Amino acid sequence: MSTRKTQNSFLILTTLGVYLGFVLVGATPVLGHAATTRNFELTDEIEFKDDLDKKPEPTSKDLDKAIEDYFNRVGAFVRNLRKLRSIDEFDTAYHTFHNENVAFSPCPATGTGRSEQTATHIDRWLVPTIEEANFIAEEFAWLSDCLPYTGFQTRTEAQSAGIKLSYNKAELLHDLSLKFGSKSRAESVHTGLAAALGRFRSDEEDANYELIRTLLKHTSTTISSNKITVVTQLPRAALDSLLAKDAK
């Protein structure tokens, strides 16, 4: 199916350089109490041939890969927080954060995408980790439907995904949301996504096996009207265990 080959063709920019910059020179944060937008490039490799009104259902293989990608992303987020804690720059008893980001991919999925972000004050050491975790929205927009959107000059529709990241000293929340054109469409995709979540198992030989197993235990999917949400909700006790210096 032609859409699947282009759906994830976002240009993902690594934040490693930014993170090292903070470590070496103590740069100031770029996030404050504000709403911001940014653009990201989408490749023009393949023609978009599917009728947007008759979008093919994602296959079981598509959804299995999506769930695997989800846990890889959440796992990376927790590991980055662990690194910060190991150098005493993330204190679960002191730091809090709340960040929301929505990524929009134009329909057809070519050209330049758009990202809209709202954040409260975030400690400067946490900024690169939050920014990197936000990329999951761009990666998952392909699952949603093309819906009316006025943020592009030459496109009137877009697929979108939202990511909410927060920590309030009691729990860590990673909330990914997808919107659809109808309740029936959302129910259909949710059924497949929930089944993929139920099938997912981490490889016991994987170095991150214990981490992924804990994340899986605290992850669920929900549906409300035309929106699907995939939520990982880690209570403080589970998070502290994952952030321990000897955690695997």
Q: Is residue 236 part of a domain?
A: yes
Q: Which domain holds residue 192?
A: 2-243
- Return the pLDDT at 190: 97
Q: Is residue 229 part of a domain?
A: yes
How many domains, the chain?
1
Mean pLDDT within 75-85: 97
Q: Look at residue 189 and tell me whether its pLDDT is greater than 80.
A: yes
- Return the pLDDT at 153: 86
CB-based burial, 164-202: b 16+ in 10 Å, e otherwise: bbebeeeebebbbbbbbbeeebbeebbebbbebbeebeb
pLDDT band at 11 (very low <50, low <70, confident <90, very high): very low
Of 26 and 111, the structure prediction assigns the larger pLDDT to: 111
Q: Look at residue 194 and tell me whether its pLDDT is greater than 70.
A: yes
Point out which residues pair with 114 in neighbouring strands. 39, 104
Backbone φ and ψ of 114, nearest 5°:
-145, 140
Q: Answer for the pair 182, 226: CB distance below 8 angstroms, yes or no.
A: yes
d(CA 17, CA 10): 19
Of 195 and 45, the structure prediction assigns the larger pLDDT to: 195
Q: Is residue 179 part of a domain?
A: yes
Q: Look at residue 212 and tell me whether its pLDDT is greater than 50.
A: yes
| Distances, alpha carbon 164 to alpha carbons 51, 111, 229, in Å | 31, 25, 11
Q: Is residue 103 part of a domain?
A: yes
- Return the pLDDT at 84: 97
Q: Which amino acid is at 1?
A: M
Mean pLDDT within 73-88: 96
> Mind listing the pLDDT tens digit for each residue in 113-156?
888 988 777 899 999 999 999 999 999 999 999 999 999 988 89
* Cα 11 from chain centroid (whole Å): 15
* Mean of pLDDT over the chain: 83
- Return the pLDDT at 144: 97
What is the separation, in whole angstroms, between the first and last Cα of the chain? 38
pTM, entire model: 0.79
Mean pLDDT within 101-112: 88
Cα-Cα-Cα-Cα torsion 57, 190, 64, 15, nearest 10 degrees, comes to 100
Q: Look at residue 224 and tell me whether its pLDDT is greater than 80.
A: yes
- Return the pLDDT at 8: 38
Q: How many helices (H) and strands (E) does the chain have?
A: 7, 8
Helix (H, G, I), strand (E, B) or coil at 39: strand
Helix (H, G, I), strand (E, B) or coil at 185: helix
- Return the pLDDT at 139: 95
Of 21 and 186, the structure prediction assigns the larger pLDDT to: 186
Percent of the chain whose pLDDT exceeds 90: 63
Q: Is residue 248 part of a domain?
A: no
CB-based burial, 11-36: b 16+ in 10 Å, e otherwise: eeeebeebbeebeeeeeebebeeeee
> Mind listing the pLDDT tens digit for each residue in 44-56?
333 333 444 467 8
pLDDT band at 203 (very low <50, low <70, confident <90, very high): confident
| CA angle (150, 151, 153) in 5-degree steps | 85
Q: Is residue 55 part of a domain?
A: yes
Q: Is residue 20 part of a domain?
A: yes
Q: Is residue 10 part of a domain?
A: yes
